[in-house]
Structure 1
Amino acid sequence: MEHKFKFEKLIIWQLAMDFAEEIYSVSANFPKIEQYNLISQINRAADSIALNISEGSIEQSNAEFKRFLNYSIRSIAEVVTCLHKAKRRKYIEEEKFTSLYLSSFELMNRTLAFKSKLS
């Protein structure tokens, strides 16, 4: 499929899309008691990463795009905090936490690098 929107070509958007799907997969195994709390929070934050990248890329100045990238970075931090909560509550194993933590860190660094290249 040909990419019609410029954000679809961005590696950070593609990674954010994949990351959110992985978060959804993991959070589906959290206890039902967390359905309206931690599950909802982590899923919304994970989706927000790609949503802000796409929203900021459309018809925005670079300054506005940077502002939306900052929102994405904040959402990454929110996901990481939710992952810490999940680990403390023993909803995820250390190995899965570490994998998602490293993915979060890579996504944050790539987003920061992309943001720094915008004039």
Structure 2
Amino acid sequence: MSKTRFENLEVYLLAEELSQIVWNLVIKWDSFSKNTIGNQLVRSCDSVGANIAEGSGAGTSAEFSRYLKIARASLFETKPCL
């Protein structure tokens, strides 16, 4: 499998943009909100880009595909928190 430079993937760039937006919103919340739903929201958002990056270093296309599915699941985890 040829190594994909995840930094150039549009999906990775969008994931990073979403993560930055969420961080900028959550940081303004009160302590209770930050420590409950905010924490979960930030972690699930950050996980999207992290899994794309990790998967790009996978040894096979099948492994990369698995990481992309995990990234997608993290995105779905994010939706209910918004």
TM-score (normalised: structure 2): 0.87
Misfit runs of 4+, over 3 Å? none
What secondary structure is seen at the aligned counterpart in 2 of 1:36?
helix
Instruction: Tell me the residue number matched to 2:73.
Output: 74
Structure 1: runs of 5+ lacking an equivalent: 84-119
Give the % identical residues. Answer: 29
Q: CA deviation at 1:79?
A: 1.0
Does residue 15 of the first structure (1) align with residue 14 of the second (2)? yes
CA RMSD of aligned residues (A): 1.3
Which letter does structure 1 place at the counterpart of 2:36? N
Task: For CA contacts below 8 A with separation 6 or more, give which structure has more relative contact order.
Answer: 2
Q: CA deviation at 1:34?
A: 2.0
Distance in 2 of aligned mates of 1:73 and 1:61? 19
Structure 2: runs of 5+ lacking an equivalent: none
Instruction: Tell me the residue number matched to 1:62.
Output: 61
The alignment covers a number of residue pairs equal to 79
What secondary structure is seen at the aligned counterpart in 2 of 1:74?
helix
What secondary structure is seen at the aligned counterpart in 2 of 1:37?
helix
- The answer to whether the 8 A contact 2:58-2:64 is kept is no
